[in-house]
Chain A
Amino acid sequence: MLSQLRATATLLALFTLLLGLAYPLAMTAIAGVAFPDQASGSLVTRGGVAVGSTLIGQSFTGADYLQPRLSAAGDGYDASASSGTNLAPTSARLAERLRTDGRAMKATTGAALLPADAITTSGSGLDPHVSPAFAELQVPRIAQARGLTPQEVRRVISQNTAGRTLGLLGEPRVLVLGVNLGLDALASNSAAN
């Protein structure tokens, strides 16, 4: 009995040292050397200032920006409090919100059918992507707000569109932050000219 207790206590202590400290700290050290950007959150900088992460969605409300999906994380895109709505497919609250948002978006875009991600909330509340169809729906608005041709906007979008990985995995997607950085870069280039 005593030997069992000794084995239990010693093993728990050894495993806590090995798995609870050595393993995560060694992983942190290796990751910091081998993949420093990813290990610290895949941050994007512009003019020396960190403006976001390529992996984490952020809020865009201006007409001149590509707008992301709806978010239930905190007050929207709170990257320290990820969350979905967890509303049921029979939730009256969800139905009401969808009706209102759907009507508004159909009115502003003139589209008869909306893409599946246009007014639904993502799982994480931090979805950094929109579908190519939802991006396309926003092209006229962005072009008008920025005084660009739709083709110019589409070019920026396609530069930030990824297809299925290996032609197989996941779904085609547009990186919202990438598009908006591209749009801003376009604007500052033409201002410089």
Chain B
Amino acid sequence: MTVVGWLQILVILAAVVAFAMPLGAFMSKVFRGERNVLTPMLGPVERSFHRLAGIDPGKEQSWLGYTLAMLAFNAAGFLFLYLLLRGQGLLPLNPQGFAGLSPDLAFNTAVSFVTNTNWQAYGGETTMSHLSQMAGLTVQNFLSAATGIALAVALVRAFARSGAQTVGNFFTDVIRATLYVLLPLAVVTGLAQVAMGTPQTLEASATVQTLEGDEQTLALGPVASQIAIKQIGTNGGGFFNVNAAHPYENPSPLSNALTIWQMLVVSVALVFAFGRLIGDKRQAVAILSVMALLLIAGIGVAYWAEAAGTPILASAGLDPAGGNMEGKEVRFGLAASAMFAAVTTGLSDGAVNSMHGSFTPLGGMVPMVLIMLGEILPGGVGAGLYGMLLIAIITVFVAGLMVGRTPEYLGKKIEAKEMKMAILAILILPAAILGFSALSAVLPSALSGLGNAGPHGLSEIYYAYSSATGNNGSAFGGLSANSPWWNTTLGLAMLLGRFAYIVPMMAIAGSLVAKTKLAPSAGTFPTHGPLFAGLLAGIIVILGGLQFFPALALGPIAEQVQMLGGKTF
């Protein structure tokens, strides 16, 4: 580890916070329906979308109506994308003449993009037509992100309102999130990415004559427009197979910093918007400090582990001071690769700029653990905030047990119903990850997809189901996941991780919004101080540890110990 490496990490994080504060203020205006700087330009578009779709923005929905609208909208998006992928061979904008996708791969991919996961069981440049990338994948990159933001805003409204019945209008929230937040950020940063070298063309490829006289075919396409929203919307699905490690997706250290900034900025801004919408900015600071603390700890462990290198590199004669460069790009080096790995999983992004499967066991465990902790550091756009608020509810409950009082959070009493729903949501993660992993570990048709033997093979299984259930999308890429078993079960894990989590979360929102907001009394446990922040961080780590430590002991921890003992598989 170097001082410059750490400075780079901290400067990028500071740049995120510096922009997220005003963006959060802007977003709180957008979701209150107030006039903002973009209203003169985008107001007419917003109104015409409402008019054409027959939506009255003033007509709000109950939690159930909001949830059903969300489910219908996502189901329609899934169906459209599935059919588009199946039929891409018959459709225009397909210069390479790619055939339609197989049913299981089309199912997996459609679920993957609708749930904001962007797990890719295919290589983009060898599978997807331009039409599929643009009208299919890019559209869901926006809409799955807008769905997440809308849901988080609905939950925040439930805390902010007192004795109300409705949590907002889903369609209005999605329209506003897309038009005012996601689209402008994607346009501006996407053009910046083109300036830095990312292609944006309808040509499929360019052929060049290399200096040694060979032909090299360079895959091209409308790359920048897709990868800008892939990062802004914490989707993570790359245009190319190797995602942000590809020099066209991520040409330079500067574009790498921009890419990390893109994936963090909306999620962090949402926390600031939360503070404004509930009228207590200190609550946002408390939550944000926990996110920052744990994320930086994750970056630190990954950076340290990668800088330490591995015995097989050292015994081959590589300079130990250079760390583990297998699967990493020279222009990024160790610090920017470790930071990217931790950020992409602290979020639910899933883009990668280095191959996580070739990390040292402990270095690779960091992204896996960050997904298992629920991707709330700071988490995907929207999903991170509502995930963190559920953990906060559990935290005040635990604190309430210790002192024997009915817990409150943000002035709302947390009672049996909220706790049941919160636990139901939280349990989805271990149930899906460990359940599917257990099945795959004994099924020959599943095991044939593994790319590495020994404990690393088990880690590939854990990582795949963690990534799918957490709607992350990154992978230990040794796994060949494009087979019916993996496509189907990972698709199911994505659906569970997204929607089986959202429904109980929205039930909590429905229950909370009807409650009267209580004024803090002398007996109220303040949730803006360091005591609460410490407790919250503790609950996050302890919950994750209790659920996943035995599994991790058999995977990455066992691998680390055996690696240090000089064993290979």
Contact = CB atoms under 8 A, between A and B. Distances in A.
Interface string B281-321: 00000000000000000000000000001101101111101
Contacts of B139: 15-16, 19-20
Interface of A: 3-12, 14-16, 18-21, 23-24, 27-28, 30-32, 34-35, 38-43, 49-62, 65, 69, 77-92, 94-95, 98-99, 101-103, 105-106, 112-131, 133, 164-171, 173, 177, 180-181, 184
Contact of B8 (A9, A19, A56, A169): A169
Given A34-B191, A60-B212, A123 B242 contact: yes
B242 A125 contact: yes
B358 A88 contact: yes
A19 B569 contact: no
Interface in B78-137: 80, 123, 125-126, 134-136
B225 interface: yes
B211 A180 contact: yes
A180 B326 CA distance: 24
Interface string B342-378: 0000000000111101111100000000000000000
Contacts of A3: 54
Nearest to A70: B326
B76 A102 contact: no
A39 B194 contact: yes
B319 A113 contact: yes
Nearest to B52: A10
Given A19-B183, A27-B191, A52-B211, A92 B206 contact: no
Contacts of A31: 191, 194, 200-201, 224
Contacts of A55: 197, 247-248, 251
B201 A28 contact: yes
B11 interface: yes
Interface of B: 4, 7-8, 11, 49, 52-55, 68-69, 72-73, 76-77, 80, 123, 125-126, 134-136, 138-139, 142-143, 171, 174-175, 178, 183, 186-187, 190-191, 194-203, 205-212, 214, 216-220, 222, 224-226, 229, 240-242, 245-248, 251-254, 256-257, 309-310, 312-313, 315-319, 321-333, 336-337, 352-355, 357-361, 451-456, 476-478, 559, 562-563, 567-569
A89 B310 contact: yes
Contact of A8 (B72, B125, B183): B72
Contacts of B219: 79-80, 82
Contacts of A23: 138, 183, 186-187, 225
Given A39-B200, A90-B569, A124-B247, 16 more contacts: A11-B53, A39-B224, A40-B203, A41-B220, A51-B209, A53-B218, A60-B212, A80-B217, A86-B355, A90-B455, A102-B318, A115-B318, A119-B318, A122-B245, A122-B329, A122-B330
B355 A57 contact: no
B212 A56 contact: no
A35 B211 contact: no
Contact of A27 (B11, B225, B310, B354): B225
A157 to B, nearest CB: 14
Given A27-B224, A41-B248, A168 B7 contact: yes
14 contacts: A7-B53, A11-B53, A14-B53, A42-B251, A58-B216, A59-B212, A86-B327, A88-B358, A98-B316, A126-B247, A128-B247, A131-B330, A171-B332, A180-B211
A150 to B, nearest CB: 21
B224 A86 contact: no
Contacts of B251: 42, 55
A191 B72 CA distance: 71
A10 B199 contact: no
B187 to A, nearest CB: 7
A153 B171 CA distance: 63
Contact of B318 (A27, A57, A120): A120
Contacts of A15: 139, 142-143, 178
Most buried by B among A30, A35, A56, A79: A79
A49 B209 CA distance: 7
Of B49, B210, B256, B330, the most chain A CB neighbours within 10 A belong to: B330
B312 A95 contact: yes
A180 B213 CA distance: 13
A123 B355 CA distance: 6
Nearest to B356: A86
B191 A106 contact: no
B222 A171 contact: no
A165 B559 contact: no
Contact of A114 (B11, B253, B319): B319
A38 B197 contact: yes
A90 B456 contact: yes
B477 A80 contact: no
Nearest to B132: A20
B247 A169 contact: no
B563 A89 contact: yes
Contact of B216 (A24, A52, A112, A121): A52
Contacts of A164: 4, 253
Given A19-B142, A88-B456, A129 B330 contact: yes
Contacts of A54: 197
A58 B217 CA distance: 10
Contacts of B199: 38-42
B322 to A, nearest CB: 3
Contacts of B568: 90-92, 94-95
Chain A CB within 10 Å — which of B174, B241, B247 has the most? B247
Contacts of B318: 98, 102, 113-116, 118-120
Nearest to B332: A170
A51 B317 contact: no
Contacts of B136: 20
A34 B361 CA distance: 44
A124 B186 contact: no
B212 A62 contact: yes
Given A41-B220, A55-B197, A90-B559, A170 B323 contact: no
B192 to A, nearest CB: 10
A65 B226 CA distance: 36
B201 A120 contact: no
Nearest to B73: A8
